[in-house]
Amino acid sequence: MKKTIASSLAAGLLAAMALPSLADGIRVDGFPPFDTHFDKQVNVFNEAHPDIAVTYQMNEHGDHHKKLTTNLATQSGAGDVVIVDVSFVGAFINAGGFVNLSDAPYNAGQFKDGFVSYAWNQGQGSDGNQYGIPIDIGPGVMFYRRDVLESVGAEIDGVISDWNSYIEYGRKLKDKGVYLIADAGDVARIIVRTTLQEGEGLFFDADGNSLVTSDRFDNAFTIAKQIRDEGLDGQIGAWTGEWYDGFKNGTVATQLSGAWLLGHLQNWMAPDTAGKWGASNLPGGIYGSWGGSFLAIPAQSENPAQAWEFIKYLTTQPDPQIDSLKDLGAFPVLLETYGDAAFDEPLDFLAGQKARRLFADVAKKVPAVTPMKGDLIAEDIVMNGALAEVLNDGKDIEQALKDADRLLKRRIK
């Protein structure tokens, strides 16, 4: 009897040790508006996993990634799950520090076919293994003011037929004191992100060679410069008070962005403009993504198994994906969700347009982009530095790209 009791106690103790106590659960590090999403999702997750306590720590987007850079470099201080923006994911993954989720016991590859292919590929390292699981994506679209469009008697299909038509629309708007777009640089950025070959990186080919002097960048810079030179953009930086005012007041007619911008516009940026907006494909028949987020487990985590359970819940289950779509405007990565009735709901903010079907169609057509270790450096040198020199200082495009290419090659040696 004593042996039986002792054995039972020992078994119970071992079982208890295998699970985290509520005081020693997992922590998720991220940035808003994920805190709003987690306020609901953690409670639902705990209904099935009452033994895994989840807390979350949110910082502003830039501060979060700056802190995470330090955490990964020092191998300390990061949460058990971290949220990583797509613009950082390639550099972070290829620098090391995340758990390889392709290996057992995670076996993430079993879920691959259920995800939008380009987003899944973006979470892979140069070794082909999976380190980040996409939680949302940003199908590239154009949001436009319907009232401004009507004021010049234009039709949206004509406006987006090609970039020349888009610029011609801007000329008509200029006569009315309305800007075509807040910043011409956004046109260059979306073209760079869309007109590339399957499996190619934004700035590097499959062998790591720079693509900065290719026709893709020359064309992107050329179109953006034409818009700037003709005075069709407001030269307004994103996420500024002036940027918000342009959307509120109708002094900016279009914005090229990820589908996620809809949530920001309707929830806090310009809620009073409901019914005045529409969404369309990008000009020129191009398809690409702008934005998206990933979940990863830092190698320093002491609770990787529990962290994986939370990641699986958020990314492989349709309910939290649909909730995020409705509450935040974040677009799902799971293909099975695209059959949900939510995608056929007319959106009041977009004058009843069933825009989620458009977003889903774009998501299925976006080519896969291979994340590279040098992406962050290239983004700064090319899309911030060289592009600004062309648009603001009048530097020759060919020379600007050659100089950026030379600097990039020096920085990534």
Query: Taking 80 as the threshold, does the pLDDT of residue 10 lie above it?
Result: no
- 217 and 85 together in one domain: no
Least Cα distance to 206 among 371, 360, 17, 10 occurs for 371
Q: Is residue 389 part of a domain?
A: yes
What is the predicted pLDDT for the residue at 199? 64
pLDDT class of 302 with cuts at 50, 70, 90: very high
At 208, phi and psi to the nearest 5? Answer: 85, 10
CATH of the domain at 43: 3.40.190.10
Q: Is residue 274 part of a domain?
A: yes
Neighbouring residues of 166: CB distance < 8 A, sequence distance ≥ 6? 159, 160, 180, 283, 284
Do 94 and 62 reside in the same domain of the chain? yes
* Same domain flag for 154 and 123: no
Helix, strand, or coil here: 278?
strand
Decide if pLDDT at 135 tops 70: yes
Domain hosting 320: range is: 23-137+291-344
State whether 158 and 263 are in the same domain: yes
- Asked if 336 and 388 sit in the same domain, the reply is no
- Do 50 and 127 fall into the same domain? yes
Of the pLDDT bands very low, low, confident and very high (cuts 50, 70, 90), residue 277 is very high
The pLDDT tens digits for 59-75 are: 999 999 999 999 999 99
170 and 281 part of one domain:
yes
Q: Do residues 385 and 274 share a domain?
A: yes
The residues, ordered by sequence, that sit 6+ positions from 169 with a Cβ below 8 Å of its Cβ are 152, 154, 159, 180, 253
Statement to judge: residues 297 and 277 lie in one domain: no
Lowest mean pLDDT, pick from 307-311, 328-332, 334-338: 328-332
Contact 99, 221 (CB under 8 A): no
95 and 130 assigned to the same domain: yes
Please report whether residue 365 resides in a domain: no
DSSP 334-389: BGGGGGSGGGG--BGGGTTB-HHHHHHHHHHHPPP----TTHHHHIIIIIIIIHHH
Compute CA distances 183 → 27, 186, 376, whole Å.
38, 6, 21
Q: What share of the chain is helix, strand, coil (3-state, %, to 5)?
A: 55, 15, 30
- Residue written as tokens 């064309």? 219
Domain count, the chain: 2
Torsion angle of alpha carbons 269, 271, 272, 275, nearest 10°?
120
SS (H, E, C) 86-142: HHHHHHHHHCCCECCCCCCCCCHHHHHHHECHHHHHHCECCCCCECCEEEEEEEEEE
- Determine the pLDDT at residue 198: 65
Give the residue-averaged pLDDT of 272-276.
97
Rounded Cα gap, residues 173 and 222, in angstroms: 21
- The percent of residues in the chain predicted with pLDDT above 70, rounded, is 94
Check whether residue 149 and residue 109 sit in a common domain: no
Is the pLDDT assigned to residue 233 strictly greater than 90?
yes
Specify whether 99 is located in the same domain as 181: no
Give residue 127's pLDDT: 87
- End-to-end alpha carbon distance in the chain: 70
Per-residue pLDDT reduced to its tens digit, 393-403 = 999 999 999 99
Let me know if residue 253 belongs to a domain.
yes
In a domain, 366, yes or no: no
360 lies in a domain?
no
> CA 407, CA 379: separation in Å to the nearest integer?
12
Candidates 347, 305, 341, 307; CA nearest to 322 is 341
- Quick check: bond before 33 cis, omega within 30? yes
